[in-house]
Chain A
Amino acid sequence: MIRNIRTAYLMLSPTVFWFLFFLIIPVSMIAVISFATNIGFGDILYDFNIEAYQSAFSSLYAKAILQSLWWSIIATVLCGIIAYPFAYFIANAGKWKNFLLLLVMVPFWTNLLIRLYSWIVLMNNQGVINNILLKTGIIDEPIKMLYTPFAVIVGLVYGFLPFMILPIYASIEQLNKTYLEAAEDLGANPIKTFFAVTLPLTFPGVLSGAIMTFVPAISVFVVTDLLTGGRLLMIGNVIRDAFLVEMNWPLGSAISLLLMILVLLSMITLMKFTSSDDESSLL
């Protein structure tokens, strides 16, 4: 297969150097800084200690980390519950399939900030939802929705639902129909066929959807920022503030590293459930 190894290295080298300079080295720097000491005013003393990690696990920051984890899991599960039947329907919509898929793509390609902003307009105390409920007399007082965990969950689900829909849709689409026919021939009713054949076979799609939803959900800071005015915190907010407000680089680096480990662990855990020959479903 090797025709000319020098050509291969020559073609790869610009990309490899780019990744080295702008990905590997910067992330390694963060790893080093996370074990250094913060002197304040953005100054760092390079000795080896785990102070930054200790403060990351102190009550103040641990709460934000656990909260992020909790909210992201809830949002991911909700996305799964909403996306599966939806994707199933689209995949079986016959000639309308492509059109419905295009309809999913429009919100998918619309900037997240704009989609979150639309929920501010909807969930405001004087917003659209409260207005409608007040006018119809269902409530007498506006319901406070912004600034609550409810708003965060809505933002996460609305923000990342398409990431769940597309992989599940792809896996249902590629489902080998002969299995379904076989199940039917062997006398399984549709419900049994779904749980015994369809769901297990499309599970890799559900898992890759879960990864693609969970990773951005746990690292996002704009959802809490825009929908709770920064009153509720997630990991992303803590990292941003450590770097830009408190100027505590070791703490920010430590939490960034923890976030990366968390993401890797969740991916490895989810991969364990999928067979390796289904790598194509991870795209």
Chain B
Amino acid sequence: MITSLVFAFLYIPILVLIVFSLNDSKIGTVWTGLTFDWYARLFSNSQIIDAALNSLFVAVITTIISTVLGTLAALALHRYGFPGKRTVGFVFYIPIVIPDIVLAVALLVLYSFLDIKFSLATVIPGHVVFGISFVILVLLARLAGLDKAMEESAEDLGANKWHTFWKVTFPLIYPGILAGALLAFTISLDEFVVAFFTTGPGSNTLPVLVYSMVRRGVSPEINALSTILILSVTLVIAIVGWRMNKKNKQEKGF
């Protein structure tokens, strides 16, 4: 009973958006007939296309930097004991708990101080800070479950460190790297507060554009945009879920 209520609470708002994105009426709260006009308008709206491309650009660069740096850091943290390890480990947790608005205004202050011109590129450093943290988190969990005997036997059989890494370690932790990269990508794509404070004039990311559109008032175009975003999210989650399910079944089959 309570479960269906909660699911209703979670999904009614989303369904309302989808329904009204197909509604003929401009005022948008009374159903007057089916139309795909809003979608047509959306795809001819260059502002939205630009913002989506901006978001993709930021997310791709963020993912590349976060994954490389985060993987190196996670491997070092996992493998070596060294003075100051605890402190370093603690610092990597900060982005996960710091209120995003604090990081956002701190970066705003830094850029203003260094006289750096705000642009799309200034969004990336803040996003990478979040990205690295999540990559490290996911990878350390993966590395903790790694069997050390594999690497050791490779070395006993005469493989050098370089060989051992690429032939043994990397294939074993690759799923973790991929999961971390995906997480960094989706977080960057979805992130609003840091982007809002650190992006330059005229270079909106998609969430920043959605924010300014919503502030101007309710419009069916936003319904259409929201619907597309919700459906793409649903599709991705369904694919990931289905693949995980398949893998679980395969593993049980052995």
A residues in contact (CB < 8 Å) with B: 1-5, 7-9, 11-12, 14-16, 18-19, 21-27, 29-30, 33, 82, 85-86, 89-90, 98-99, 102-107, 109-122, 124, 126-128, 131, 158, 161, 211, 215-216, 218-222, 225-226, 236, 239-240, 243-244, 249, 252-253, 256, 259-260, 263, 267, 283
Contacts and interface: CB of A to CB of B under 8 A. Distances in A.
A114 B106 contact: no
A121 B72 CA distance: 46
Contacts, number: 231
Tell me what chain B mostly uses at the interface: helix, strand, loop, or mixed.
helix
B17 A118 contact: yes
B183 to A, nearest CB: 11
B82 A239 contact: no
Contacts of A7: 76, 80
Given A18-B128, A131-B30, A158-B13, A240 B101 contact: yes
Contacts of A22: 107, 110, 125-126, 128-129
B252 interface: no
Contacts of B215: 225-226
Contact of B105 (A215, A243, A267): A243
Contacts of B236: 109
Interface of B: 2-3, 6-7, 9-14, 16-17, 20, 27-30, 69-70, 72-73, 75-77, 79-82, 88, 91-92, 94-95, 97-103, 105-110, 113, 125-126, 128-129, 132, 136-137, 141, 186, 190, 192-193, 197, 207, 210-211, 214-215, 218, 222-223, 226, 229-230, 233-234, 236-238, 241, 244-245
Interface centre among B30, B73, B99, B190 (most CB of A within 10 A): B99
Contact of B72 (A15, A127, A236): A15
B81 A126 contact: no
A72 to B, nearest CB: 11
A18 B2 contact: no
Given A24-B91, A86-B2, A113-B214, A121 B106 contact: no
A217 to B, nearest CB: 10
11 contacts: A82-B2, A90-B3, A111-B207, A111-B210, A114-B222, A115-B14, A126-B27, A126-B29, A218-B99, A260-B98, A263-B98
Given A5-B82, A113-B210, A222 B192 contact: yes
A239 B30 CA distance: 38
Contact of A107 (B10, B79, B129, B186): B10
Contacts of A107: 10-11, 14
B101 A221 contact: yes
Given A18-B125, A18-B128, A89-B3, A111 B80 contact: no
Contacts of A218: 99
